[in-house]
A and B are shown apart, each in its own frame.
Chain A
Amino acid sequence: MTLRTRSIIHLNVADFAVAVERTLDPRLRGRPAIVAPEGALRAAVYDMSEEAFQAGVRKGMALRTARRRCPDARIVPPRPDRYEQAMRSLLRESIAYSPLVESGPGDGHLFLDVTGTGRLFGPPVDVAWRLRRQIHADLALDPIWSVAPNKLVAKVASRIVKPTGEYIVQPGEEEAFLSPLPVHLLPGLERGDLLRLRDFNLDRVAQLTALHPEQLEILFDRRARDVYETVRGIDPSPVAPAGNEPPRVAAAHAFADDTNDPGALKAALYRLVERAGLELRTRRLAARRVGVVVDHSDGMRRARQQAVRPATANDLTLFETARRPLLLASARRVRVRHLRLICDRLTFPPAQRPLFAETGRETVRRENLVAAIDAVRSRFGRDALRMGRTMAA
């Protein structure tokens, strides 16, 4: 850890899904909006606008209840792909100022470590202000921004100005900034912790700062040391460099009509496997794990994964492996809206031939078949040759 004071910028687009939907459909602006899959019997709220939140709508709430609480809200279906795409655009804007940009999966949260960039770009607070202005102009999103000496304090700072605004916490001000705040704003304190704190009539950070480590141990056991630092605004955790996520190949399919027909799901999965497999082969890589993420009609998401041994880029083998995670992820008796295949733990294809002749023959046959399909498709187009199972129904 360096002794130098760090400058961390936190960007947070409040109600990210709604914010992205509003950029795409201006009619959603200035009125309550709820993102939830309509039509499903037990649909749950995926995200909601500030107006809907004020009316009592919460994430995960049954859409029926949400509708009762906020009858004039417009309901729009969730489109996770678009939120991830918006997230990538946010990342692209931010990376111009620092290689250290850490982002969540598709939630509008972003940390930038701009320590030491002053000579290039000016003071951190000016970078934050310009970045927000640029994002507003380019993407029509209006992130909250905060500047603080670490991620923890930057995070809390952005929470207290939600849904719009900015907050700057000067170095050395961390503890003074946190002390008057309610404890529920501190990241890392879970529901159980908050209930326990309430039993002890502890609801402000300052009350926790007044406790010594032994007293905190009674409340938090082995986590006492972490809590002791958290309430003082101490957080040495680094901002992970952008692009540090493990490499992976992914493909997704959204069903025109939600379905739980096993044949249709398998057909869709095979098409995804073909896309991912081709990309792996083109990049001369092989996957050691496949995962399937299923989004149901009611907004619930389930993900399952399975190791592939040995690593492969062969469609037939990938499909065989991916069938099990698909079965597990789609086990609910609710229809499926969106299917995503992820091949990760990428490696170079194994050079060693299989030990046993029987498996070896089968592997070679599969490789030859896929190579032949690739050759036909590269010459005559993707649809020149199709597998029977992808043509079902």
Chain B
Amino acid sequence: MKAAVEDIGRAHACRIQVGTSGYSYAEWAEAGFYPPGTRSGGMLARYAEMFSITELNYTWYQMPKAQAVERMSRQVPEAFRFAAKLNRALTHEIDPHLWRGQVTQYRDGIAPLIQSGQLTAVLLQFPPSFSRAPHNRLYLGRLLDALTGLPVAVEFRNAGWATDRVFAELERRAITLVAVDEPPLPGLFPRLDVVTHPELFYVRFHGRNASGWRSGNMQKQFDYDYTDTELQDWIRGPIRAMARRARTGAIFFNNHVRAQAPRNAQQLERLLGAVRR
């Protein structure tokens, strides 16, 4: 079932991997995605039997620690890949005096994934409050400089960043702009198929729960189940367009509630497989 789709309708080969944002959810065992009784410590190995990539979200809450990351990477096959969310101290709770040191800590923490060749991208996800104000532009430029050498993908939640000048700068720096599927609410970043880095396109499906989006409760915000039609629209539209322009693609489902994310991920892989055939 692993996703390795070689092309979508063109000769150009694009390797697309599909996974979920995080894999360690107790409710996934309750919802039947993991076999009953699967302990948290065994979830990654089980997950890696079904998917070829995951997005680490605990690195947003806590600075990654090299030893723990190394032990984690040993639990999965060599071909398994990780995207790692950048720590909140660098995207949501920025301290102008401390952030440079935190970049160093972060780089040290994820070093084992770089050494093993398993890091697909570092995900910078900025909050809706991170507008395109001059001081934020300056910070972003400096942060990207400090992350030089790492594969980086940037997700904005503020529509102010959706301009050609931003895309051109990301392209110049070879940084991936994350395409998102979110509820159609005013002010949110629009759904685009812009490719700013020929190596990688990156998509995140957050679900379309408009009423829960701003509830402050993840269980409501990310409670959504995609239909085949909605996913097919994505495949025929943005995914196909981006796959033509990038060598690889990473697609993640963040609607983790009641294990909808892994089910939708498997659903998308099935639909992509059908297109490929």
Q: Which of A's residues lie within 8 Å of B, judged by CB?
A: 3-5, 7, 115-116, 118-123, 125-126, 128-129, 149, 166-168, 170-173, 176-177
Q: Is B49 an interface residue (CB 8 A)?
A: no
Cβ of A173 and Cβ of B26 under 8 Å apart? no
Residues from chain A with a CB closer than 8 A to the CB of B30 are 119
- Bound Cα distance from A118 to B24, whole angstroms: 11
CA distance A12 to B240 in the complex (A): 50
- A149 vs B42: C-alpha distance when bound (angstroms): 14
Please give me the residue from chain B that is nearest to A122 by CB atom. Answer: B218
Interface residues of B (CB under 8 A from A): 22, 24-27, 30, 37, 39-42, 58, 61-62, 67-68, 71-72, 88, 217-219, 257-258
| A133 nearest in chain B by CB position | B93
Asked if residues B219 and A120 are in contact (CB atoms below 8 Å), the reply is: yes
Instruction: With A123-B24, A170-B72, A177-B68 given, name 5 new contacts (CB 8 A).
Output: A115-B26, A121-B219, A123-B22, A129-B61, A171-B40
Secondary structure at chain B's binding surface: helix, strand, loop or mixed?
A: helix
Would you call B62 and A166 a contact (CB within 8 A)? yes
Q: Verify A173–B71 contact, CB threshold 8 A.
A: yes
Interchain Cβ contacts under 8 Å between A and B, 19 examples: A3-B39, A4-B26, A4-B39, A5-B26, A5-B40, A7-B26, A118-B26, A119-B27, A121-B217, A123-B24, A126-B218, A166-B61, A168-B61, A170-B41, A170-B72, A171-B39, A171-B41, A172-B39, A176-B67
Q: Which of A115, A118, A123, A172 contacts B42 (CB 8 A)?
A: A172
Q: How far is the CA of A200 from the CA of B145 in the complex (A)?
A: 50
A118: chain B residues within 8 A (beta carbon) = 25-27
Q: Give the nearest-CB partner of A176 in chain B.
A: B71
Q: Give which listed residue, B24, B217, B219, B257, contacts A170 with CB less than 8 A.
A: B24
Q: How far is the CA of A166 from the CA of B61 in the complex (A)?
A: 8
Q: Which residue of B lies closest to A146 (CB)?
A: B62
Assembled-state Cα–Cα distance A128/B62 (Å): 11
Whether the Cβ atoms of B218 and A116 lie closer than 8 Å is no
When C-beta atoms are compared, the residue in chain A nearest to B29 turns out to be A4
A5 touches B62 (CB 8 A): no
- Residues in A with CB closer than 8 Å to B41 are 5, 170-173
The answer for the CA separation of A228 and B227 in the assembled complex, in Å, is 52
* CB-defined contacts of A120 to chain B, threshold 8 Å: 219
Min C-beta distance of B155 to chain A, whole Å: 18
- Is the Cβ of A5 less than 8 Å from the Cβ of B68? no
From B37, B72, B217, give the contact of A122 (CB < 8 A). Answer: B217
Chain B hits for A129, CB < 8 A: 61, 88
A389 to B33: give the CA distance in the assembly, Å.
72
B36 → chain A closest CB, angstroms: 10
> Which residues does chain A contribute within 8 Å of B88, judged by CB atoms?
129
**Most A CB within 10 A of own CB, among B24, B39, B40:** B40
- Chain A residues with Cβ below 8 Å from B62 are 125, 166-168
Closest residue on chain A to residue B68 by CB atoms: A173
> Nearest chain-B residue to A7 (Cβ)?
B26
Using A119-B258, A168-B62 as known contacts, say yes or no to A5 and B217 having CB atoms under 8 A apart.
no
Contact indicator B219/A119 (Cβ below 8 Å): yes
CA–CA, A116 to B39, complex, Å? 13
Complex formed: what's the CA distance from A115 to B29 in Å? 13
A115 to B58, CA, bound (A): 18
Q: Are B40 and A172 in contact (CB under 8 A)?
A: yes
Q: How far is the CB of B200 from chain A (nearest CB, A)?
A: 27
Name A126's contact: one of B27, B39, B61, B67 (CB within 8 Å). Answer: B61
Q: Which 10 A-B pairs have the closest CB atoms?
A: A172-B41, A122-B218, A171-B40, A171-B41, A5-B40, A118-B27, A118-B26, A168-B62, A5-B39, A125-B61
For residue A112, give the distance in angstroms from its CB to the closest CB of chain B: 15
Contacts of B58 in A (CB 8 A): 125, 168, 170
Given contacts A170-B40, A171-B39, A173-B41, contact A123 B71 (CB under 8 A): no
The minimal Cβ–Cβ distance linking B225 to chain A, given in whole angstroms, is: 15
- Chain A residues positioned under 8 Å from B39 (CB to CB): 3-5, 171-172
Min Cβ gap B83→A in Å is: 18
Cα distance, A121 to B25, chains bound together (Å): 12
Residues of the B chain whose Cβ atoms lie less than 8 Å from the Cβ of A168: 58, 61-62
Tell me, in angstroms, the Cα distance from A129 to B218 when the chains sit together. Answer: 12
Which residues of chain B have C-beta atoms less than 8 A from A173's C-beta?
41, 68, 71
In the complex, residue of chain A having the shortest beta-carbon distance to the beta carbon of B75:
A172
Chain B residues with Cβ under 8 A from A123's Cβ?
A: 22, 24-25, 218
Which of chain A's residues have a CB closer than 8 A to the CB of B71? 173, 176
> In the complex, A115→B27 CA distance in Å?
10
CA of A233 to CA of B193 in the docked complex: distance in angstroms? 48
Instruction: List B contacts of A3 (CB < 8 A).
Output: 37, 39
Q: Once bound together, how far apart are the Cα atoms of A326 and B218, in whole Å? A: 53
With A and B bound together, what is the CA distance between A116 and B40 in angstroms?
Answer: 12
Interfacial chain B residues near A126, Cβ < 8 Å: 61, 218
Residues in chain A near residue B27, CB distance under 8 A: 118-119
Instruction: Report the minimal beta-carbon distance from A380 to chain B, rounded to whole angstroms.
Output: 51
Which residues of B sit under 8 angstroms from A167, Cβ to Cβ? 62
Q: Closest CB of chain A to B100's CB: distance in Å?
A: 18
Closest to B222 in A: A122
A-side contacts of B26, CB under 8 Å: 4-5, 7, 115-116, 118
Give the complex CA separation of A308 and B213 in angstroms: 58
Q: How far does the alpha carbon of A172 sit from the alpha carbon of B39 in the complex, in Å?
A: 9
Contact A122 B219 (CB under 8 A): yes
